Structure 1
Amino acid sequence: MKVKVLSRNPDDYVRETKHDIQRVPRNYDPTLHPFEVCREYSRALNATKLDRVFAKPFLSSLDGHRDGVNCMAKHTKSLSTVLSGSCDGEVKLWNLTKRVCLRTFQAHEGFVRGMAVRYCGTSVFTVGDDKTIKQWKMEAPGYGEEVEPLSTILGKTVFTGIAPHQKDGVFATCGQQVDIWDEQRSTPIRSFTWGVDSFSSVHFNPVETELLASCASDRSIILYDMREAAPLKKVIMTMRSNTLCWNPMEAYYFTACNEDYNLYTYDMRRLDKPIMVHFDHVSAVLDVDYSPTGREFVSASFDKTIRIFPMNASHSREVYHTKRMQHVICVKWSADNRYILSGSDEMNIRLWKAAASEKLGVLTPREKEATNYRLKLREKFKHFPQIRRIAQHRHLPKGVYDQSKQLKEMKEARRRKEKNVRAHSKPGSVPVVSEKEKHVVTVVK
């Protein structure tokens, strides 16, 4: 005789943390749960409000420089190590975990214009206003040893930027021209010029490692291939670009920060117009850096704020600022995708969270599930007016708020004038030019 017996596993109805509280069984049949969307909307609204309540992005500041921080560099092998160079020629090595300075050395006379950590992480190259390229050991010297560079290369002109190769002992510098250097030689192995007075920055592509790009003083962005004898092509814009950054996940995309308060994301295969124009800054954008995922980037501006943009969105999702922070000159996104570093005029390096309301520390499985559930709810209902208003609202400094309002009025006036001119002109004589095409003058190949 076969007897059927009910058997239940206690793991199905007893909670993980406190075993005295029993889990309530649920029937997920939608007919038994009317008003489900109404409840989810209420939960999404509460999640959006709590996200703004717990948004405290600022973590700490790294004090120690005696002049404005002009450049920063991430260590290629260590998450917790970062280098910073200041306007008085001093370079500092920081430990972000302990938030202390590990070592300090006088690298140059005048500004430190750029730093590049070697691909293996054993040494760092620096360039400065004294027309030299110096290589320094990453480890601090022993007791009684003097701080001396491993090698020094004296150039003919001032170097304004440096970029390391991702895989080889090769690096690029820019100044009056773009030079490719081998670590074992004191003269460049290749030089590129294209009728330009000077260059402000140069960057290697992290995916297609033979490609590099530079920003020039004639308002152009020039692309190069190390295997070619001449530059590939260049795009000339209406205003000058300060620097650029390649997308680490998509080889052909890069984002340039411009003097006209905007950032432009290009596909290097089609330079006739950018694939996206990023607005919101109210002064010149000085630096940009991508997240390791390639989905977002952070920008530093002369308007004393830093902004985080999704790569495929024209407006920022986040803006960070403090009362004491002055013009932000350089910015970096940490390699673990969780933190942002900014260096500004008033001698401070600030550490921020990439997600303003993210909880730091170890999360329990229930906390992770609740966080992911709230995130999906906010994503589902993000277009509802009340939720969108709460999620997008940010408190801005009065100067930034007033200037953004003024820029909006100016843009609306130009759009209205163009519409009136087109309405009172011969049909077809005033063509419609998209916002993406307005800022590109020409492409030279």
Structure 2
Amino acid sequence: MKVKVLSRNPDDYVRETKYDIQRVPRNYDPSLHPFEVNREYTRALNATKLERVFAKPFLASLDGHRDGVNCMAKHNTSLSSLLSGSCDGELKIWNLTKRESVRTLQAHEGFVRGIVVRFCGTSFFTVGDDKTIKQWKMQSPGYGEEEEPLNTILGKTVFTGLDHHRKEGIFATCGQQVDIWDEQRSSPIRSFTWGVDSFSSIRFNPVETELLASCASDRSIVLYDMREATPLKKVVMTMRSNTLCWNPMEAYYFTCANEDYNLYTYDMRNLEQPVTVHMDHVSAVLDVDFSPTGKEFVSASFDKTIRIFPKDGGHSREVYHTKRMQHVICIKWSADNKYILSGSDEMNIRLWKANASEKLGVLAHREREATNYNQKLKEKYQHHPRIKRIARHRHLPKPVFHQSKELRVMREARRRKERNVRKHSKPGSVPVVTERAKHVVTVVK
């Protein structure tokens, strides 16, 4: 007589642990799980709370400068390298992995106004208050060699900004005018002026590499094409812009940091009004930099805080501050999208996590899956009032908190006054002006 024996593989019903815990088979039919939403909501709430508990963004402080940090530059090919220039003309190259300075040189007399690394990463350029442009080797000089620049160009006026072309040996400077330089020549190959006293910032477009944009002292943002003899067009705003940054993924969009506490994202094809107005700072915004994904950008402000904004969001998703940090002058987002670097008035460069609660280092497979699952839950229930309140809540320094409250009251008073004027005026005589249109004076082509 034959006897049929049932045999099963233990891997199908025993968990992957050292204990023989029975694996519970699960049926995913939604009709069999009437309390699924309740369970998921509780998990989303717990995940949101844990995210705030583990939000510790500050990583390290790079000490070494003897004066305020005025400008910084990322290396194009090395994630661990950072260049910084201070107000006493000193330039330092940092190794971010070891968190220490690997090279120090006296680059200029007076402020270092701009640093940019050549597209191939073998050398870098600096400009300063001593009216010079200097090119330096990226590698340290050998034993017995003196620290000398590869090339020095003496200009007629002080240079206030600098940027390098992404693919060719061409760089641009700004001061009393915008100059385009060839690395092989000691005089500019093209100069642009448009009835402006001075320019504070110049940026090449990383996608459409022939385009440039600059911020001018007459409250305007001017666009240029290197192939043209004259500037393309400019938009004049109600207050001056300090600097701007192009979106590295969308060629036509750029964001400018303004003196009126806001940031403005523009589409260069239509400068009549900004695409988005980003509010939250309570003092002048001094610097801005996009993440390499183009989905977010980080801003540095005179109010001693750093804020991270979604590219199309009116308010920041994150605010970073420390008790000792003073006015934040310059900001950079690392090329691997994980870190933010800030340079401030009190001689420190600080390293922050781009995602405050992210766990650094190698994650186990199950840990990564749990993180992704929690992230999806938070996205699914993000508009629930309780979860939204916990996710949005941030502790602010007392001066920033009181000033933001005061600004809210002032904005509401202006809106109320405008409504009353419109209500007691002839219909149509007081038009409704949107928040985006309020800040643009004119567009000149």
What TM-score results when the alignment is normalised by the length of structure 2? 0.98
How many residues were matched structurally?
444
Q: Which residue of 1 aligns with 2:116?
A: 116
State the alpha-carbon separation in 1 of the partners of residues 100 and 4 from structure 2: 67
SS of the aligned residue for 2:433 comes to coil
Q: What amino acid is aligned across from residue 60 of structure 2 in structure 1?
A: S
1:207 matched to 2:191? The reply is: no
Q: What amino acid is aligned across from residue 96 of structure 1 in structure 2?
A: L
Assess, with a 3 A threshold, how the Cα gap between structure 1 residues 410 and 23 changes in structure 2: closer, same or farther.
same
Q: Which residue of 2 aligns with 1:93?
A: 93
State the alpha-carbon separation in 1 of the partners of residues 31 and 197 from structure 2: 72
Assess, with a 3 A threshold, how the Cα gap between structure 1 residues 429 and 9 changes in structure 2: closer, same or farther.
farther
Q: Which residue of 1 aligns with 2:352?
A: 352
State the alpha-carbon separation in 1 of the partners of residues 235 and 174 from structure 2: 18
State the alpha-carbon separation in 1 of the partners of residues 6 and 428 from structure 2: 80
Give the 5 Å matches for 1:122-201.
122-201=122-201
Assess, with a 3 A threshold, how the Cα gap between structure 1 residues 21 and 269 changes in structure 2: closer, same or farther.
same
Q: Which residue of 1 aligns with 2:264?
A: 264
Give the 5 Å matches for 1:51-66.
51-66=51-66
Q: What amino acid is aligned across from residue 178 of structure 1 in structure 2?
A: V
Following TM superposition, by how much is the alpha carbon of 1:32 offset from its aligned partner in structure 2, in angstroms? 1.4
Assess, with a 3 A threshold, how the Cα gap between structure 1 residues 12 and 90 changes in structure 2: closer, same or farther.
farther
State the alpha-carbon separation in 1 of the partners of residues 249 and 134 from structure 2: 31
SS of the aligned residue for 1:73 comes to strand
State the alpha-carbon separation in 2 of the partners of residues 287 and 395 from structure 1: 23
State the alpha-carbon separation in 1 of the partners of residues 4 and 414 from structure 2: 80
Q: Which residue of 2 aligns with 1:384?
A: 384
Deviation sequence 1:165-191 (CA, Å, 0-9, x none)? 100011000000000001000000000
State the alpha-carbon separation in 2 of the partners of residues 94 and 412 from structure 1: 46
SS of the aligned residue for 1:413 comes to helix
State the alpha-carbon separation in 1 of the partners of residues 307 and 379 from structure 2: 21
Q: Which residue of 2 aligns with 1:286?
A: 286
Deviation sequence 1:294-352 (CA, Å, 0-9, x none)? 00000000000000000010000000000000000000000000000000000000000
Deviation sequence 1:89-117 (CA, Å, 0-9, x none)? 00000011111111000000000000010
Q: Which residue of 1 aligns with 2:441?
A: 441
Assess, with a 3 A threshold, how the Cα gap between structure 1 residues 32 and 174 changes in structure 2: closer, same or farther.
same
State the alpha-carbon separation in 2 of the partners of residues 5 and 207 from structure 1: 68
SS of the aligned residue for 2:436 comes to helix
State the alpha-carbon separation in 2 of the partners of residues 6 and 185 from structure 1: 85
Consecutive unaligned residues in structure 2, runs of 5 or more:
none
Assess, with a 3 A threshold, how the Cα gap between structure 1 residues 429 and 27 changes in structure 2: closer, same or farther.
same
State the alpha-carbon separation in 1 of the partners of residues 10 and 221 from structure 2: 65
State the alpha-carbon separation in 2 of the partners of residues 389 and 8 from structure 1: 50
Following TM superposition, by how much is the alpha carbon of 1:255 offset from its aligned partner in structure 2, in angstroms? 0.2
Q: What amino acid is aligned across from residue 41 of structure 1 in structure 2?
A: Y
Q: What amino acid is aligned across from residue 187 of structure 1 in structure 2?
A: S
What TM-score results when the alignment is normalised by the length of structure 1? 0.98
Assess, with a 3 A threshold, how the Cα gap between structure 1 residues 7 and 283 changes in structure 2: closer, same or farther.
farther
SS of the aligned residue for 1:372 comes to helix
Give the 5 Å matches for 1:420-435.
420-435=420-435
Deviation sequence 1:124-152 (CA, Å, 0-9, x none)? 10000000000000111111111000000
Deviation sequence 1:395-438 (CA, Å, 0-9, x none)? 00000000000000000000000000000000000000000000
Q: Which residue of 2 aligns with 1:302?
A: 302
Q: What amino acid is aligned across from residue 232 of structure 2 in structure 1?
A: L
SS of the aligned residue for 1:435 comes to coil
Assess, with a 3 A threshold, how the Cα gap between structure 1 residues 233 and 366 changes in structure 2: closer, same or farther.
same
Consecutive unaligned residues in structure 1, runs of 5 or more:
none
Q: Which residue of 2 aligns with 1:415?
A: 415
Q: Which residue of 2 aligns with 1:73?
A: 73
Q: Which residue of 2 aligns with 1:39?
A: 39
Q: What amino acid is aligned across from residue 78 of structure 1 in structure 2?
A: S
Q: What amino acid is aligned across from residue 55 of structure 2 in structure 1?
A: A
Following TM superposition, by how much is the alpha carbon of 1:35 offset from its aligned partner in structure 2, in angstroms? 1.3
Following TM superposition, by how much is the alpha carbon of 1:10 offset from its aligned partner in structure 2, in angstroms? 4.5
Q: Which residue of 2 aligns with 1:327?
A: 327
SS of the aligned residue for 1:404 comes to helix
